[in-house]
Amino acid sequence: MSTTDPALGAFPSPYSVPTPAGCEGWEEGYPYYAVFDERRRETDENRFWFWNSMHFPVPMPAFDVICIDSPYQAVGSWQNRVFAVPPAMGIDYRIVNGYVYISGNPVTDPEKIAERAGFFQARAGHYYEHWTELYGKWRAKMDALIAELGELQVPHLPEYEPDEVALADDRNTAFYEVLDAYGRCLRLLDLMWQHHFEFLLLGYGAYATFVELCKSHLPDIPDQHIAQMVAGIDVLLFKPDAELRRLARLAIETGVDGAFAEGRTPQEIDTELARSEAGRSWLAELEEVKDPWFNMATGDGLYHYYRSWLDDPSIPYAALIGHIGALRAGQKIDRPTEEIVRERERLAEGYGALLDEATRGPWNDLLALSRTVFPYVEEHKFFCDYWFLTRWWNKVREFGALLAVHGFIEDGEDIFQLSRHEVAVALDELVLTWATGGRPLGPHHWPGIVARRRELLERLAAWTPPPALGIAPEAVTDPMTIMLWGVTTERVQDWARHRDGGNELNGAAASPGVVEGVARVVRSVTEIADVRDGEILVCGSTSPAWAPIFSKITATVTDVGGVMSHAAIVCREYGLPAVVGTGRATSEIRTGQTIRVDGSGGVVTLLDSGR
Amino acid sequence: MSAAAGGPHGRALHGLRRSDAPAFGGKSTGLGELLSAQIPVPPGFALSTTAFAAFMRASDLDHVADEALAPVLTGDVEATREASREIAAAMSSAPLPGDVRDELAARYDELAASAGVQSPPVAVRSSAVGEDSEDATFAGQQETRLWVRGVEDVCAAVRDCWTSLFSPTAISYRARLGERSRPAMGAIIQLMVDAAVSGVMFTCNPVSGDPSMVAINASWGLGLAVVGGEVTPDDYLVSKVTGEIVREQLGGKHVQYVPSVDGHGAELVEVPVPRRELACLDAEMLAALIDLGRRVERHFGSHQDIEWAIARAGVPPENVFVVQSRPVTTVPRRVKPTEPPPSALALVMGTFGAAQTRTEEER
C-alpha cells in the first residue's frame, strides 16, 4: 500500500492512512471486498467517505462484520431496489484499521432519476397511505421473528443419536441440525434487518420533510421545538425506565432502598435484598418487569459487546440507584406526560398560527404524517436493535459454546473473533470429525487466529480514525446521509476546517442550555457504570438504552448524531444541554477534563488540558 | 389650566387615528393607534401640518424657501447645501405665530398638569407626511430633541424639527423624487421616559425573516445610542411561541445618553466599566417586551420595528413603554415564497428527490 500520496481534497486519501504499529495484516479478518483495494483505487480515492462512528465506534470484531453486511444489504434493497429512491442507491462500506467508513452511491442520470421517481411515488405513496395498518402487520412479523429465534435450538453432538432418529424416522441427525440451525440463525438476522429498514427511510423522510418545511418558513425555530411537536407521548422506549422509576419508588416504600448504595454491583445489591422478606418481594416484582422491558440493550446493538439488561443489569441498577437518590432528595422523577402533551400542542398551535394560510394546510398535514410515522421511528429500535439483536448474539454464543466444548476455540466468546464464514467452516469440520470419529484440526487452527485478532482489536482501539477520508464534497446532497447520520455540507466543512484541532468543537445544538463540568468519555458500554453524578457524558453516540443514566449526568456530547436522534429528544426531556455530531469529541476530550457544553449554540469548549 | 386645551393645530395623541395621517404624519397617528390598542405610550400631543404652514406663511418663509431652491439643480451638492443653510437661518430667526405658540403652550401646560410636574421634560419629534413617509425617515427628515423643558425650549425644538425638512439630504431626496409642491410636516410632543434601558425590537427576525422570533437590541440610557448605532447593544433573539431566549449576545455598551446635568437636553456619557458587561435586561423585562411586541404586531397586522424604553421608576410591565412603531419593510423574501407549498405528500416526495413531475394520468 502506498503511503506517499498527498491528501486529496480536504481529507486524507483512504490509501494513505498509516497502519498503526503492530497492526500489520489487520485486513486478514475482514472480507476481501471490505477494504480499500488497489484494484478499486481510481473510484474509491475520489469518493467522500465518512467514519460511521454512530453505529461502529470501535474496531470491528470479525464476526460482527455481519452487522455491516446484513443491514447494508437490507437498506440498499429497500432504498435502491424496492422504493427506488430517485437520487440515491445504497451505501458502500470499507474498513480501515478496523473502523467502518461509508459512502452513498448516487444516481446522477436525470432520466434514471425520473424513471425511479415513478416507482418511488407509487410505492412510498402506498406506505404513507396505509402506514398504521402496515405497521400493525410489521409488529406481528417482528413478534413472530423474535419467537422463532427463541425457539431455534443449537443441538449438542451426542455420542449416539437418540432413538427418534433410529426408530421413529422423524428427526434429522445432529450434523445436519447443527448446520441447519447455523444457516437459519444467519437468515433470521437477515430477516430482522430486512424488517428494520422496511419503514425506516420513509419514516425519517416524512419527519425530515417536516423539519425542512419548518426551517424554510421559521428559519430560527430551535430543533428541539420541532422534535417536541412530533415526539410521541406514549413512547415504548420510555417504558423500561418508567418501570425502573416505579421500582425505585417501591424500594423506598417498602424500606429496601438502603440496599442501593452507590458503587455496589447488581449482585451485591441482590444479595442484600435477598436477606429480607421485603427485599425478596421487591426482587419478585423486578422479575415481572424483566419480560419484556429488560430486553433493552446496553448500547446501540450493532456489536456483540452490547448485551441486554437481562445479561448485564449494570445500567438498570445504576439507574435505580440514581432514581432512589433523586426521590430521597425530594425530586420528581416521573416523566411529566401531561406537561409534554400540553407543550406539544402549545407549540403546534403557536407555530401554526404564525404561518401564512397557504402553508398552514400542508404544514398541519405534514405534522400529522410525522406523528403517524414517529412511533415506528422510535419503536423499531426496541424490537430490532435491542430485543432481537441481544438475543441473536446470545444464540451465536450457543454456537460458540459448542465449538468451545469441542476445543475448536478456548472460550465461547472467542467465536466473535472469527468471521461468520470461518465459523461455518469450523462447524463443517466439527460435525465432519464428530461424524467420522476422526481427529479434528480445528483445535490447532483456530485458537491462534483468535489470539492474534484479540490483540489486533486491542491495538486498533487506541487508534483515532479521522472523521472523513477522500474527496470533500462541495455539497452533501444524499438525503440518506443527511437524514440518518446528520452529515450535512456544514458538518463536512467543519470537519475539514478543524483537522488541525483547537479548543472548540462544533456540532448540532440538540438541547439548549450551557453547562460546565468534568467530562466522562465513554467509548463502550462497559464504561457506563463508571459515570458519576454531575459528569458530562462524552460518547460516540448515545443510545436510548442509556437514558436511565441521564439522571446522573449534566450534559451530553456525541461524535455523531443529528436533529432526529432519539438521544437529542431524551436530553431535552431531561433538560440536559446536548451538542451532537461534533465528529471528534471522544478523540479530543479526555475523562477528567473540564469542558463547557453550549447546547444552544452547538459548541463544546475544552477549558483545561485535563490531568 | 383645568379645561382641556384646544386649538386648531394640535390634537392629543390618543385622539389620533390612521385617517389623520395626511394632516399629522404617520408617526403621530401610529402612536394614536398604539394608544387605542391599550399599548403603553408616553402621553403627549401632536401638531398638524397647519401649524407648520402657518409658521412658514407668517414670516414669509415660503418665499425664502422657494427662492433659495429655485436655482438649485438636482445633484448639485454645494448649491443644495447653500440653499439649506439659507432657509435654516431664516427659519431659526422667525418666531412662531401667536396662535401656534399659544396653543402649544396651553397643551404643554396641560401635559405638565396631567403628569403632575412643572416644566416636564418632553421629547419633540418630527412626523413626516405623505405616502413615502417611511422612506422619508431615512432621508434625514427626522429630527428628535430629547429632554426638552419649558415652553420656550419646546417651541425652539418644534422649529428645529420643521427646519429638518430643509436639510440638504431632505432637499435632494425630494428633488430626486421630482417633488415640486411645498413640503409639509407634523410634530410630536411627548412626555420623556426617564429610561434606565431602551432599545429597538423587531417582531420578526429582521435577518432571517423568521416570524416566530422577536429580535431585541437593548442598551443603557436613552434609546438614541441604539438607534444611532453608537453602541454595540445586548442582542436577543426570543421565541415568540415559548418565550425562550434562542440567542443572547451581550454587547459592549460603552456609552449612554442621559439627561444633561442642567436638566435640559441629553448628553452622551461613558458607561462605568463594570456595568458595560452586565446584561441590561432581566427575564421580567424581556417577557414584558415580548408581550408588548406581540400586541403591537397583532394590532397592526404586520411585523413592526418598535422603539421602546424602560423607565427607571416602577417595575415591568408597568414601566415599559413604546415610543414608536413602524412596519418592517425589509423582511427577506425567502419566507414569503411566491408559490404556496404543494401538498404534504408532494413535499415528502421532494425530500427523496421524487418531486412529482408527472401527473397521475400521465403515468
pLDDT at A585 over 60: yes
Looking at the structure, tell me whether residues B209 and B153 fall in a common domain: no
Closest CA to A347 of B328, B239, B119: B239
Best mutation target, A83, A131, A217, to test chain B (most B CBs within 10 A): A217
CA distance B344 to chain A (A): 5
Q: Which three cell numbers stand for residue B225?
A: 445610542
CB proximity A130 to B under 8 Å:
no
Residue B340 belongs to some domain of the structure: no
pTM of the model: 0.78
Report the residue of chain A nearest B363, measured CA to CA.
Answer: A118
* pLDDT per position as a tens digit, A211-269: 889 988 998 898 888 988 998 777 788 889 899 999 999 999 999 999 999 888 999 99
Residue B356 confidence (pLDDT): 57
Closest CA to B168 of B75, B280, B63, B300: B75
Count the helices and strands in chain A (H runs, E runs).
Answer: 20, 12
Looking at the structure, tell me whether residues B107 and B37 fall in a common domain: yes
Q: What is the CATH number of the domain that holds B160?
A: 3.30.1490.20
Whether omega before B317 lies within 30 degrees of 0, making that bond cis, reads yes
Looking at the structure, tell me whether residues B126 and B71 fall in a common domain: yes
Tell me the chain B residues in contact with residue A86 when contact means C-beta distances shorter than 8 Å.
352-354
Taking CB atoms and an 8 Å limit, are B348 and A351 in contact across chains? no
Looking at the structure, tell me whether residues B248 and B185 fall in a common domain: no
Size of chain A, expressed as the number of residues it contains: 611
Neighbours of A541 (CB within 10 A): 23
Tell me the chain B residues in contact with residue A87 when contact means C-beta distances shorter than 8 Å.
352-353
Taking CB atoms and an 8 Å limit, are B335 and A512 in contact across chains? no
Report the residue of chain A nearest B215, measured CA to CA.
Answer: A220
Looking at the structure, tell me whether residues B182 and B304 fall in a common domain: no
Looking at the structure, tell me whether residues B33 and B156 fall in a common domain: yes
- DSSP 3-state of A606: strand
Residue B307 confidence (pLDDT): 92
Looking at the structure, tell me whether residues B143 and B254 fall in a common domain: no
Looking at the structure, tell me whether residues B184 and B323 fall in a common domain: no
Taking CB atoms and an 8 Å limit, are B335 and A217 in contact across chains? yes
User: pLDDT higher for A70 or B168?
Assistant: A70
CB proximity A219 to B under 8 Å:
yes
Residue B1 belongs to some domain of the structure: no
State chain A's mean pLDDT as an integer.
89
CA distance A609 to chain B (A): 27
Closest CA to B166 of B195, B135, B196, B141: B141
Query: B156, B191, B226: which is the final residue of a domain?
Result: B191
Domain range for B54:
10-191
CB proximity B241 to A under 8 Å:
yes
Taking CB atoms and an 8 Å limit, are A218 and B212 in contact across chains? yes
**What b/e string do you get for A199-212 counting C-beta neighbours within 10 Å, with b at 16 or more?**
bbbbbbbbbbbbbb
- Going by C-beta distance under 8 Å and a sequence separation of 6 or more, which residues neighbour residue A236? A375, A378, A379, A382
CB proximity A19 to B under 8 Å:
no
- Going by C-beta distance under 8 Å and a sequence separation of 6 or more, which residues neighbour residue B193? B42, B309, B310, B311, B321, B323
Looking at the structure, tell me whether residues B75 and B211 fall in a common domain: no
Looking at the structure, tell me whether residues B130 and B94 fall in a common domain: yes
3-state secondary structure B124-147: EEEEECCCCHHHHHHCCCCCEEEE
Compute CA distances A239 → A180, A496, A543, whole Å. Answer: 37, 41, 15
Percentages (nearest 5) of helix, strand, coil residues in chain A: 55, 10, 30
User: pLDDT higher for A339 or B334?
Assistant: A339
Torsion sign (Cα): A435, A438, A443, A444: negative
CB proximity B348 to A under 8 Å:
yes
HSE-up of residue A262 (Cα within 13 Å, Cβ side): 10
Residue A473 confidence (pLDDT): 83
Looking at the structure, tell me whether residues B207 and B305 fall in a common domain: yes
Residue B282 belongs to some domain of the structure: yes
Residue B353 confidence (pLDDT): 86
Residue A588 confidence (pLDDT): 85
CB proximity A569 to B under 8 Å:
no
Taking CB atoms and an 8 Å limit, are B241 and A359 in contact across chains? no
Neighbours of B159 (CB within 10 A): 20
Taking CB atoms and an 8 Å limit, are A366 and B348 in contact across chains? yes
Fold of A502-606: Glucose Oxidase; domain 1 (3.50.30)
The interface predicted TM-score of the complex, written ipTM, equals: 0.78
Rounded Cα distance between A295 and A293, Å, is 5
Report the residue of chain B nearest A127, measured CA to CA.
Answer: B345
* pLDDT per position as a tens digit, A495-553: 777 665 568 888 777 777 789 999 999 877 667 778 888 899 998 776 666 666 777 88
* pLDDT per position as a tens digit, A473-502: 888 877 778 877 878 888 887 777 766 556
* pLDDT per position as a tens digit, A370-417: 999 988 988 898 999 999 999 999 999 999 999 999 999 999 999 999
Residue B355 belongs to some domain of the structure: no
Strand partners, B93: none
In the 8-state DSSP scheme, what is residue A377?
H
Residue A611 confidence (pLDDT): 47
Query: How would DSSP label each residue in A273-314?
Result: HTTSHHHHHHHHHHHHHHHHHT--BSS-SSSTT--BTTT-TH
What does the domain layout of chain A look like in residue ranges?
A: 1-129+466-500, 143-218+366-460, 236-337, 502-606
Taking CB atoms and an 8 Å limit, are A220 and B205 in contact across chains? yes
CB proximity B208 to A under 8 Å:
yes
User: pLDDT higher for B106 or A315?
Assistant: B106
pLDDT at A210 over 80: yes
Q: In angstroms, how far is CA A143 from the centroid of its own chain?
A: 20
Q: Above pLDDT 90, what percent of chain A?
A: 61
Closest CA to B36 of B288, B295, B240, B223: B295
Rounded Cα distance between A400 and A405, Å, is 9
CB proximity B249 to A under 8 Å:
no
**What are the φ and ψ backbone dihedral angles of A487, each rounded to 5 degrees?**
-90, 100
With beta carbons less than 8 A apart as the criterion, state whether B347 and A213 touch: yes
Residue A567 confidence (pLDDT): 62
Residue A462 confidence (pLDDT): 87
Looking at the structure, tell me whether residues B287 and B166 fall in a common domain: no
Q: What is the CATH number of the domain that holds B234?
A: 3.30.470.20
With beta carbons less than 8 A apart as the criterion, state whether B219 and B344 touch: no
Strand partners, A586: none
Q: How many domains does chain B have?
A: 2
CA distance B196 to chain A (A): 29
Query: B157, B191, B225: which is the final residue of a domain?
Result: B191
CB proximity B301 to A under 8 Å:
no
Q: What is the pLDDT along chain B (363 residues), one digit of tens a residue?
A: 334 567 889 999 999 999 999 999 988 999 999 999 999 999 999 999 999 999 999 989 999 999 998 888 877 888 888 999 999 999 999 999 999 999 999 999 999 999 999 999 999 999 888 755 555 554 455 678 999 999 999 999 999 999 988 988 888 878 777 777 788 889 999 999 999 999 999 999 887 889 999 999 999 999 888 877 788 889 999 999 998 898 888 888 989 999 988 888 889 999 999 999 999 999 999 999 999 999 999 999 889 999 999 999 999 999 999 998 888 876 654 445 546 778 899 999 988 888 754 444 433
